[in-house]
């Protein structure tokens, strides 16, 4: 489900592994917004760059779900 706007500090759940990822940076690259995320609790692991998708309902990260949608948050 999309959120109105993706922001630094949000936690997103990776759909295939169920792990939480923290948005650490957002930037624009060639008319596209890119989110830089890292696994929560794993500051030394590699960062992932994810292209932000937009539609009429808001923004989303493909392959991720906003963590607040889940009961365990």
Q: Where are the domains of the chain?
A: 11-69
Residues 38-68 as b/e (b if ≥16 CB within 10 A, e otherwise) read bbeeeeeeeebebebeeeeeebbbeebebbe
Displacement of CA 58 from its chain's centroid (Å): 13
pLDDT given for residue 69 in this prediction: 54
pLDDT given for residue 42 in this prediction: 85
SS3 68: helix
pTM, whole model, 2 decimals? Answer: 0.84
- Residues with Cβ within 8 Å of 29's Cβ and at least 6 positions away in sequence, in order, are none
- pLDDT tens per residue, the chain (73 residues)? 678 999 999 999 999 999 999 999 999 988 899 999 999 988 888 999 999 999 898 999 999 999 875 444 4
pLDDT given for residue 9 in this prediction: 93
């Amino acid at each position: 489900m999309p959120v109105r706007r993706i922001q630094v500090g949000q936690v997103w759940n990776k759909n295939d592994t169920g792990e939480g990822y923290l948005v650490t940076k957002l930037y624009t690259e060639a008319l596209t917004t890119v989110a830089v995320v890292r696994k929560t609790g794993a500051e030394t692991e590699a960062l992932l760059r994810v292209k932000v998708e937009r539609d009429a309902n808001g923004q989303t990260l493909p392959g991720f779900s906003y963590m607040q949608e889940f009961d365990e948050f």
